[in-house]
Structures are given as structure tokens and as C-alpha cells.
Structure 1
Amino acid sequence: MLNHIFRPLRRYGLAGFFIGVALAGFFDGILLHQILQWHSLFSSLDGQVYQDLRFRMLTDGAFHAAMYGIGLVGLWLLWRGRHEFASEGSGKRFASTLLIGFGVWHLADAVLNHWLLGLHHIKEDHPNWLWWDLAFFALGLVCVGLGITFDRFGGRRRLSNTVASSVGIIAFAAGAVAASPWSNPRPVTVVFKQGISPAAVLAAVENANGQMLWSNADGDVWAIALKSGFDGWSFYRYGALYVSGSVFGMGCFSATPAPST
């Protein structure tokens, strides 16, 4: 059945597939890794290096770079096959292969990275993490099914567009809620530039109306409990490089007692 989709318009069919894989990777990396902070690439592996914040940021960045590479391959194939879009049904088939690529990434990631290699799971801190992995796998099946249906039954275009739009709206809303702790103050992680003075850190915490919980041995990564609403700029003005809306997934550091305020 997949051969039916790819063979007639191979160039932009493959372009749609590669672009779909890249978009799925960005969906995973941006929403689940960075906004919701449910996991990182190697968050299920034991060892201090795998829990280190900088290592996690580096590996997630490398993952995004790989997705950029896959996306560029798709764009190159799309450019090479641009003249084929004059044929009837070309746009529909491009959209169908894009949906299939989006779904195939979810299937491959779930089977390979979640279950065979055990690199990470969708929601690491949940006691029933397997259900989240299965939901991720089911999303892949749905997207592949929609892609095949969309190619075979052009009349389902409105249905496919509605489903795709709904998924996007839900993902955006979930990310916005997870990244907005204003109504429910909670601990945050702040990474300051190396060499920052303790006085500057104390000033940043005081300005944000927070309380220090712990820091790493170098004094540039801090967990801070906020007593009121969250304002990241309160930290960025004092030399912060990164401010997270939570402390989950930020890694295990050699903690030192925070200075008394």
C-alpha cells in the first residue's frame, strides 16, 4: 500500500516523507523535551553524565541538528521534483506522505528508543509511563493511517485537515499551560553564565522574590523557589543564560548548600 503512494511521484513523495519525519522530530524535541520537559534524549540511562544539564542540552541540540539535516534532504527532494507538482493529485500525495513520515517517526522512536534501547520514555516521572509510550505509538499509527486514507480518498481532505489542526491546537495549549507557572508558583532552574558573582545571584533571587534551594558546585546552576509569579526577565537581567519553568529533568548536580539570605 505504501508503494502505491511513493512509486507514481517518487521525488516529492519522498520529499513529503522526509519533511514529515523532520517535523515529527521537532514536535518531539520542542514540545516534549524543551517546553513540557518530560524527558530528554538519554534521560532513562543511569550515570551522572546522562543527568548533567549541559550534556542533556548538548544531546538534544544534536538531535535537533539531525532533524534539520533530514528536513534539508526533504527540501532538496522537493526542489528537484518541483515540476511534478503540475500533475493531478500531486498536492494530495505530498500531504499524504508528509503525514506518513510524521507517523513513522513516532513508531520508530517508540519501538527503538523507548522499548528496545530504553534511552528514554515519554513521561519519565509518571508511575504508568508505559501508557504514555503507548499513546505516543498510537499517535504514529493514527498519522500513518490518515496519510494512507488521505491519499486513497481525496474526499476526506476536510477530515484530515481538522484532525491535524486539532492536534496542533492541543499541543500548543498544553505547552502554554506547562510553560506558564504564573498562577501556581513552583521551583525553577536557573543557569547563570560562568564566573557570575554570588552578589549578582543574590540580587537576581531577591528581585524575583525567590528563595534559594540548592546549587551545583560551580555556583552557576541554581534551583530557586518562587514566592510569587514567574518572571524570567528578572533573572536574565542579572546574567542568566537559561530559565526553566520547573526543576524536573534538569539533571543531578553536585549540590552545595545555598547561602543564607
Structure 2
Amino acid sequence: MTTSHDSRLNYLGRNLLSGCLLGLGFVAFIDEAVFHQILHWHHFYDKSSPDIGLVSDGIFHAFSWFSTIGGAFLVSDLRRRNAWWPKRWFGGFLFGGGAFQLYDGTIQHKLMRIHQIRYNVEIAPYDWVWNILAALMLIAGLILLYRTGRDSKGMEGAV
């Protein structure tokens, strides 16, 4: 019979992947729901007509839900196997959410210029807040992942 430590060691990658998918899906959902739908600050793709922008929001929304549902199924499987490691999973959640937000804020906003956070305002404060929050999530996630990776090495000898 395997212990929970054995199970967690065997599923380190799955804990990380499931957290990343749910983190990415959650941050994308918040972005789409708050900034796209509620505040109407931008669409996922703003370089065309409002109709195309609305369609792009729908595709983006579907992407966020596929990511969320995939991550949720993986968590369910981990829990069924008694292999869910909440600390490592949350590290993945923060890493996935922070990575998506930093990608959005740097690649999509600045390099590709497919949309901005807001229009007709001084954009720098919005960019700074968006990207600093992303970096903080990413760093916190990496710290948790490093610690749980280190903890897993200590568990190998104890099992």
C-alpha cells in the first residue's frame, strides 16, 4: 500500500500542471469577465470592428474555461488517488496565473499590441500595476514550487 507521501512524489508534475491550468484559467476568466464584459475597457482583439472584438472575447472565454475545467479534472483525479499536494498545487496556480498575466501584459499589450488595458487614459499606471501583480504571483508561485520540490527530495529518503 502506498502512503500519501509516495502518491505525492509520483504526481509532482500533475499537481503542478493542474495548478497551472486552474491559475491560468482563473486569471483569464477574471480578465475577460471584469475588463472585457463588466468595465468594457477592451476586447481580446481590438484591431478590427467591435463585432470581431466580441467574437475574440468569446474565443478567449472558451479558452479560459477549457483550461479551468482541465485543471479541475486533474485535481479531482489527484484527490481520488490521495496524491493532491495543496501547497505544490497552489504554487502552480500562482505560477500559471502570473505567467499568463505577464504574457498578456508584455506580449499581447506591448509587443503584439492586440489590445491595451484601457484606452484614452494615461496607460503607464495600469501597465505597472498589471505587470507588477503578475510578477508577484509568478515569484510567489516559484517560491512555493521550489520549496515543495526541495521537500519532495527529503521525502524520498523517508519513504
TM-score class, shorter-chain normalisation, is 0.7 to 0.9
Among candidates 72, 75, 79, match of residue 78 of structure 1: 75
Instruction: Identify which of 3, 7, 23 aligns with 1:20.
Output: 23
Q: Give the TM-score normalised by the residue count of structure 1.
A: 0.48
Residue 30, structure 1, aligned to residue 28, structure 2:
no
Is the counterpart of residue 116 in structure 1 residue 111 in structure 2?
Answer: yes
Specify the structure having the higher radius of gyration (Cα).
1
1:179-258 equivalences under 5 Å are none
**TM-score normalised over the length of structure 2:** 0.76
When the two chains are superposed, the root-mean-square deviation of aligned CA atoms in Å is: 2.3
1:31-69 per-position Cα deviation (integer Å, ceiling 9, x unaligned): 1111111111122x2xxxx232x3322211111001111
Asked if the contact 2:29–2:61 (Cα under 8 Å) also holds between the matched residues in 1, the reply is yes
Contact 1:11 1:80 in 2 (8 A): no
- Does 2:97 correspond to 1:102? yes
Structure with greater helix percent? 2
Q: Helix, strand or coil: the match of 1:124?
A: coil
* 1:63 paired residue among 60, 63, 67: 60
The answer as to whether partners of 1:25 and 1:67 remain within 8 angstroms in 2 is yes
Unaligned runs of 5+ in 1: 1-6, 155-261
Q: Tell me the residue number matched to 1:134.
A: 128
Amino acid in the other structure paired with 1:69: F
Relative contact order, CA 8 A, sep 6+: which one is greater? 2
Distance change >3 Å, CA 84–CA 12, structure 1 → 2: farther
Distance 2:100 2:116 in 1: 15
How far residue 76 of structure 1 moved from its aligned partner, in angstroms, is 2.8
**Partner AA of 2:130 in structure 1:** F
- 1:65-123 deviations in whole A, cap 9, x for unaligned? 0111112221232233332436xxx1111111111111111111112211111001111
Q: Distance in 2 between matches of 1:112 and 1:78?
A: 30
Contact 2:45 2:52 in 1 (8 A): no
| Structure ranking higher in strand proportion | 1
* Alpha-carbon shift at residue 8 of structure 1 (Å): 6.5
